[in-house]
Amino acid sequence: MAKKKNKFVSAFEQFGRSFLLPVSVLPGAGIIKGIGTAFSNTNTLKMFPALNNSVVQFIMKFFIALGDTAFDNLPIIFAVGVAVGLAKREKGSAALSGLLGFMVLHYILNFLLKFSGKLVDTSKMSSNDAKLALSNAMQTKVLGIQTMDLSVFGGIIVGIVVYFVHKWAVKVQLPTVVGFFSGPRFVPIATMVVMAAVASGLFFIWPPIQKGISVLSVFILKSGPIGTFLYGLLERALLPFGLHHGLNWPVRTTELGGAWEIGGKRVVGTINAYLASLADPNIKHVDPNITRFNGGKFVYFMFGLSGAAYAMYKTADEKKRKVVGSLLFAAAGTSFLTGITEPIEFTFLFVAPILYIVHAFLAGSALFVMHMLGAGVATPTGHGFINWVIYGVLQGPKTKYWLVPLVGIVYFFIYYVVFRFMIVKFDLKTPGREDSDEVRLSNKNEARAKYGVEIATIGKETKEAKVEEASSDEVMETVPKTKEGIHKQAVALVKAHGGPDNIEAVDACITRLRINVKDKSLVDQNTITKKLGAMGFAESDMQMQSIYGAHANVLKMEIQDMLGMEE
């Protein structure tokens, strides 16, 4: 039974990680569109009349169109991105197959709708009437093709189907006479056939499925602030296991997050609806049901975790406060400005898990409070000060952006009081409260790495060194800037994971290097965190997760090259 559970968790984790590639485009596209809407909305133009000229407004409309390129085509981005994210090798073939499979899906659905007489004729309708008629019939237009409205689910379905087809077809060896089409070249061909069958099946089963999704989305919306609290609690609880992506992105980009009529168009997913609300001049206040899973994150990312850091600082040994303070405040500053919370969250997760449990409940309550107050501020990702300004302040009063600092200051003190009480009451060994000088000294580099202040790596040396001499006994002091330094760090990490023969797979998400091993007793966690620069370390069955921030993907590629592994 346990084995099945592990396989399920592993599959869910892999599925969640496959979203990272397609959604990685959203923050950039969102910022571009956010700037465009911020400096073209009526409130901003009233405040700054100088912006209301043809040149500036042309540029802002240009930005909006550029951002819409990504958000209006999320289904196809997911089709290609999920296929590539799940594929272990020959990713180019997977990408082409994802694109082709997506087009086959909608061309076949269009054909079947025509053949069955169900295709809505909008040729004699006005634009608004056509949109309403298509919405009522659960149809839409994708890449100019009138088809069934599968939204982002269509892209996800294509990506998953392509993954299984790719996994099988890439190994197929055809007879000599048609041998040219073997392997990666066979994948797109097989995808066309399989997706035609899948499209035919979806033609019959998708309408009831879509009605079920609509019912579920209505249930989620009607769950009110209590549902918002539970979402926030669960999302933080899944973070240490790397499973939160599988919860976040379906809500943000599909009908599971809700569906709204905005500007005469049906919009699904909380982020899509939020950006559409910002762009609609007729909307005076953003619906808090759209931002319920986002608004509270600004509160605890920017203020709550800063209060937790201050509590750990104030409860540290006075002799250690100077060092501890520099680390804690650097981590808190990173969370406040950019919304990158792992350095500080994983600090108290590792040294005092009970604090993380408290944090998860407080995070859920922050979402609850902001929902109750009607906050209307959100962001595609990164709930820090920078995105609060872009997606909140610059968008004018429709976002009620002022609720973030007002509630945030309260939560700063809540986190401070609760964390200080817990630390003192249970004598938790947070940074600066270690029992001995020996522990303090040996944990100094680990703490620095966790907080991202002096992340260790090999490669600082300027002299020539042979690859074979790279040793995990060396203590890292800076992120390597040279190819040689990165290679030496990768060599040391392979050694710390039991050597090449113990490593089965190497992967990475946004911040974590994920290495699957055969025997985890051979993994030297102490070396990885204290000497090889990891900000933190976690296990998920046989997968070892080392937190390296943006450096994780660089290390992944270097280790894969060293071991002759394909993605």
Active-site positions read 509
d(CA 6, CA 34): 41
Contact 358, 345 (CB under 8 A): no
Run of H or E including 442 = helix 437-450
**Ramachandran category for residue 531: left, alpha or beta (phi over 0 → left; psi -120 to 50 → alpha):** alpha
Q: How far apart are CA 50 and CA 249, in angstroms?
A: 39
| Phi/psi at 461 (5° precision) | -65, 145
Q: How far is CA 34 from CA 39, 121, 129, 143, 316, in A?
A: 9, 35, 29, 24, 41
Closest listed residue to residue 496, CA positions, set 517, 512, 482: 517
Instruction: Map residue 512 onto helix, strand or coil.
Output: strand
Q: In 463-535, at which residue ranges do the beta strands (DSSP E only) sit?
A: 503-508, 512-517
- Per-residue tokens: 16: 């969640």
Report residue 532 as tokens: 């090889």
- Report the SS3 class of residue 328: helix
Selection from 152, 23, 21 nearest residue 84 by Cα: 21
Two tokens at 151?
């939204």
The phi and psi torsions of 418 (rounded to 5 degrees) equal: -65, -45
Residue 212 near residue 202, CB atoms below 8 Å: no
Q: Which amino acid is at 51?
A: L
Two structure tokens written together for 275: 């950006």
Q: What is the largest CA-CA distance in the chain?
A: 81
Report the candidate in 499, 505, 496 with the shortest Cα–Cα distance to residue 476.
Answer: 496
> What is the three-state SS of 246-304?
HHHHHHHHCHHHCEEEECCEEEECHHHHHHHHHHCCCCCCCCHHHHCCCHHHHHHHHHH
